[in-house]
Structure formats: structure tokens, C-alpha cells
Structure 1
Amino acid sequence: MRRADRLFQIIQILRRHRQPVTAATIAAELETSQRSVYRDIATLMAQRVPIRGEAGVGYVLEDGHDMPPLMLTADEIEAAVLGAKLVAGRGDAGLARAALDLIAKIAGVVPEHLRPIALDPASIAPPGRALPADRIDVGLVRAAIHNARKLRLDYRDEVGRETVRTVWPIAIGYLESVRLLIAWCELRNDFRHFRTDRIASLTVLDTRFTARPAALRARWRRTLDATHPTSP
């Protein structure tokens, strides 16, 4: 790997991680020595790339570093297109449209020699079976999650019994056969999963919940791990 490419890849590795990344981790991914990584980090810092950290502790790329847009490798383009095709097949209507728009935008701006990878990739997303139609605008739910807004749901269970719930939405789960709203339910005082095709109606409330959605998602994942531990 040319040194210029290695410098670029170091920035990409740091950009990918939120926590400090050690020189050993960087060296292992780039298949080079830690000494080379130390020299490369020093070069980047001398070029005013905002890297914070030190040898033995780890390095973080601080906010404010701009890179030329869409400097994508062939593998990155294929990964983005494959992911977008999966979303187009499994996501709600809004995300499906956005995924197709993303593919078109990538194909429109990448260099000519990379365009076939976006338009006719070697990787194929498996077709999914049709999901039950949502009775609500899932885009409103995603916006409520981002803004930490409570929702009031009119929900019907598998036998048609209707309940009204006030929930703290934290995620939308896109499963093989259904889409789920994952939320903290004030009625049950616990996490609950609501099928989006069984939500008869919803209202986005003015009230915000105080916990951060990311923190609630972490709690939810720990709850799942405790309920369904991984086999050794």
C-alpha cells in the first residue's frame, strides 16, 4: 500500500470509531508495523489533521476534519449499494424510496469507471417476502425517535383487542416478516415490541422523554441479552 493511501486509510479508521483506536489496532488492519503507524500519525498531525491522542493510549479524530465528498473505493460503493437494496426491500415506504434515491445519487457522482459497480453490482440482495402493510406513517415514528418525543398508540393485538399506550419510541426493527416499533411502555413499565401493521393510529405528543434514545437502546439490548443469553 502506498503511503498516501495508508494515510487516507488511517483517517478512515479513526472516523469509523468513536472511542480511541490504538496503533496496534490500526497496524493490524493495515498490515503494517506500529512504528509506521506512529510516523503516519505524526505526519497527519503535522498536516493539521485534528487527531488527538498519544502512543499507548489511542487516537481520536476530532470534529472539523473535512474530506473530499464521495472518495469511495469499489468495495465501499458495493457495500453501500447492497445495503441500500436490502433497505429498499425491507424498509418502510419512506426508507425504501430513500434507498433507491441513494443508489441513483451514488451512480450519478462516482467516477465513470466505478459507475457499473453502482448500477450492476456483483453482490445481490436476497428478495424478501411482502410484509404486512403499515397503517401508520413510519417516518413520523422515526422522527419521534430522533426528537425523543412520546407517542400515543391505538394498538390491536393478534386477536383484535385494542389498547391505548403511551410509549417512548427508541427504534424500528426491520425483521424478516414484520416491522416492529421498539419502545418503553408507560403502562407496562417495561420495554415492549409493537407490530407496525397493528398500530391503528398514533399521535406524536409534545412531551419529550428525558432519557436519551441511545441509552434506552443500550438498556433494551442488555435486557435481550439477559433474556436470551448466547450459548457458549
Structure 2
Amino acid sequence: MKIKSIKIFVIAFAVSILIVSGIALSIKNSSLVSGDAFYFMKSVGEKIDLHFLTFNAQDKQEKHLMLADKRLNEFEFLIDNRNTEFLPLLGTFNEYRKRLDSAAFMAENLALIDAKFVANIELVYIETLNHLIRLSEFENRTAAKDLREVALQYNSRSMKRLLQLHQYDENNTTLYKSLIEQLYEIASAREQEMGPEQLQNFQKAREVLDQGVELEYAHDLLVSTF
């Protein structure tokens, strides 16, 4: 009798897990944000999808970037539409950083396995560049400051890695110069907000980019202007 009860309990528990997982997966793409009653179910659904339903390492790396993008959307919604408390913003910020860190780490390790995965490092750079563009358009610039610093951190990390891998490759160097030029354009929109030292670095970055040699230095100069 006792064994039968245990079996019933195990079956009931397994069924409940399946039901909860099904519900979680069904709302993983919903518009719920941190602080909402069922947001934890959305998080569970995302984690199930990421860790148990995504088997390819490259796909998993790209999903980390996708989740970072989602957290950015949620953060923007929270600061623009709700008189939100500190904790939902902090949780969203930490998740954003965590996803970018995982995406960058996986991309770098994939590139060590096979050179074709260098494209995944490029993807980190391009995505964080897009994030910087969006963050520059946030109405609440102050609230976006910490997110911008995180995006800059991983943008810089990915570019440094790309330049290390292709420092003698003319074609890729040309590509990376064009990507840094895009960062220059983002920085130029903030020129009126720059202090004297930032403005000096911004102008120096232009000179270095025109020379087309010390691209990492040019990138560092631009990062310092934010």
C-alpha cells in the first residue's frame, strides 16, 4: 500500500512538472516584465527552452543574445511606463548582464574550437552596438547609464578579441574598421554632452580611424567618450 502511494505521488509530481513546464513554455515570449505576478513562469519557460530544448552550442549562444535583447526591452518598458520599484529594475539589469556574459563567453570558446565560429563573436559586437543605439534613444538617460556601461563592456571585449584573431587579416580589418565607424557615429550623437577630455578623445579617435592602423586604440578612445 505504501509503495502504491509513493508511485501515485511520483506520477502526480511528474504530471504537475509537465503542466508547469508547458505553461511556462507557452508564456516565455509574453510581454510580462519583472514585478508582474507570473513573470517567474516566463523565466522558467525561457530556462527550459535554453537548457533543455536547445542542444546546439551555437544556437544556445545566440539565444543568450536574444534573451539579453528581451531584458533590454523589459528594462525600457519598466522605466518608461511604470513607477517601478528598485528590485524589478535590478533583476532585469542583472539578467541582461548575465546573458551578455554567457553569449560572449560561449562565442569566444566556440571560436577556439573552429574559426568559423568567429562569426558568433562578431554577432556579440553587432548586437551590443545595436543595444547602444537603442540606449542612446531612451527617454530616461540616467536610468540607462548602467545598462550602457554593460553594453560597452561586452562591445569592447568582443572587438578586442576579433582584432586579436585577425590582426594581420586585411579583409577582416576593413570590416572591423567599418564596425568601429558605427560606434563613432553613435558617439557623435553625444558630442554636445561630452566633457573636454571626452571631446579630445573623440577627436583623436577620428584621427586614428582615418589612419586605419590602431583600431583597438580608436575603439578604446570612443568607449571613453560615453
Q: Fold match, TM over 0.5? A: no
Name the TM tier (shorter chain): under 0.3
TM-score (norm 2): 0.26
- Structure number having the greater helix percentage: 2
TM-score (norm 1): 0.25
